[in-house]
Amino acid sequence: MTSALRIPFVIGTGSGGCRIASKLAIPGVKRICINSSWRDLEALPGDVVRVRAGDGSGSGMDPKRGEKDYVKMGGREGLLEAIEKVLDEKGMSKDDVDLVPVVISAGFGFGSGSGPKIVEDVSKLLPKSAVIAWITLPFFHEGEETRRNALKCFKSVASKAAAIAVDNQHVAEVAGVSLTLKDIFARINRRIVYSLLTLLRAAASPNTLTTIDRSDLRRVLGKGAALMFSKSFQVGAKDYTKLYDSDSSLSPYTPGEKPCKVRALAVIQSPRAPSPAELSRIASQCERSLNVRLKAFKSVITLGGEKLRISILLGGLGY
């Protein structure tokens, strides 16, 4: 069966963003990696599409230099050419693309500087496509300036597209001090990969009872901060108020005093199809536990597994 969502490529920018994107071995999805550190680009797996920016020496700690390396020193031109080439190879037009995932490692020079411009350029090049960005935020020990750079990048991206914060510090604290830095990065990578696979699972498959189309996706993935979390329950559970906790998400979320209006996409995997009453209960308890009001609640139901697995993407949060 043909997938209802067409995702021909994923983009990674900055050394960390490129490493994460290079690990997204999803059939039919090309990995386009752009960086001003050419040495880091060459260290990636052989089958990624590499785009060079700047003079090859990296952008250091300076996001302004990173933006210049992208806009004025070959990055923008190279990226747009790479996108066009991927589409040509797949026999697709610009109007055929439903979703473009972008992974940005923020905090240092190139990722922080190029990330917002890349999201803006992709949105202009593919105006009918939904764009969603994962922005990694640095650890506290990497310094206050690095965190400021990352948060500025995140806010800029969120003004242009749906933006999910991947807070390295949060994941490390949830994981505990017993894990090495390498293990923590591996856990972060797995969570990003899982959240991307969850969106791919929202496409039609032989085991999917309901799916979404591009208009549904664009309604959920509007501009602004987004939150994605996932949790398992026993089939037939009545209490979903613990859908969100510190271990179910890539970033912390603190409910505001007043409920904000958001849009939601729920990808539900279950041995049996949930009833309309169960879906209503999931939506209402999600509202209550996060103190939000759902303007839209779209659900994709896939049969499989032994437990009820609920993954929810909330779009349009404040930041």
Q: What is the pLDDT of residues 153-183, one digit of tens each?
A: 999 999 999 999 998 888 888 877 677 878 8
Tell whether 193 and 241 lie within a shared domain.
no
Question: Does residue 31 sit in the same domain as residue 128?
Answer: yes
Same domain, 168 and 312: no
| Residue the block writes with tokens 């071995």 | 25
Predicted local distance difference test score (pLDDT) of residue 131 = 95
Query: How many CB atoms neighbour CB 278 within 10 A?
Result: 18
3-class DSSP state for residue 255? coil
CA 145 to CA 250: how far, in whole Å? 22
- How far apart CA 39 and CA 34 sit, in angstroms, is 12
The token pair that represents 182 in the structure block: 């390498």
> Given this model, what pLDDT does residue 284 score?
94
* Under 8 Å between Cβ of 83 and 102: no
Give the total number of structural domains in the chain: 2
Q: How many CB atoms lie within 10 A of CB 273?
A: 14
**Amino acid symbol at 153:** C
Cα–Cα distance for residue pair 246/251, rounded to 1 Å: 8
> Is the confidence at residue 316, as pLDDT, over 70?
yes
pLDDT higher than threshold 50 for residue 234:
yes
114 or 170: whose pLDDT is higher? Answer: 114
- Specify the DSSP class assigned to residue 7: -
* pTM (global) more than 0.85: yes
Structure confidence at residue 102 as a pLDDT band (50, 70, 90) = very high
Our CA angle for 159, 163, 167, nearest 5°, is 125
Q: What is the CATH number of the domain that holds 251?
A: 3.30.1330.20
Those residues whose C-beta lies under 8 Å from the C-beta of residue 103, and which sit 6 or more positions away, are 10, 11, 12, 13, 17, 20, 21, 133, 134, 136, 192
Nearest to 104 by CA among 183, 164, 31: 164
197 and 234 belong to one structural domain: no
Same domain (yes/no): 190, 271: no
Q: Give Cα 121 distance to the centre of its chain.
A: 17
Whole-angstrom Cα distance, residue 94 to residue 104? 22
DSSP character string of 198-224: HHHHTS--TTBS----HHHHHHHS-SE
CA–CA dist 262, 228 (Å, integer): 13
Task: Kindly state whether residues 309 and 189 are assigned to the same domain.
Answer: no
Structural domain including 21 reads 9-201
**Is 215 within the bounds of a domain?**
no
Q: Decide which of 147, 167, 201 is a domain's last residue.
A: 201
For 125-158, what is each residue's pLDDT tens digit? 999 999 999 999 998 889 899 999 999 999 999 9
Nearest to 291, CA basis, from 216, 217, 241: 241
Q: Give the C-alpha separation, 1 to 203, whole Å.
A: 10
Query: What distance in Å separates the CA atoms of residue 132 and residue 138, rounded to the nearest whole number?
Result: 20
Tokens for 10, please give them.
């994923």
CATH classification of the domain holding 197: 3.40.50.1440
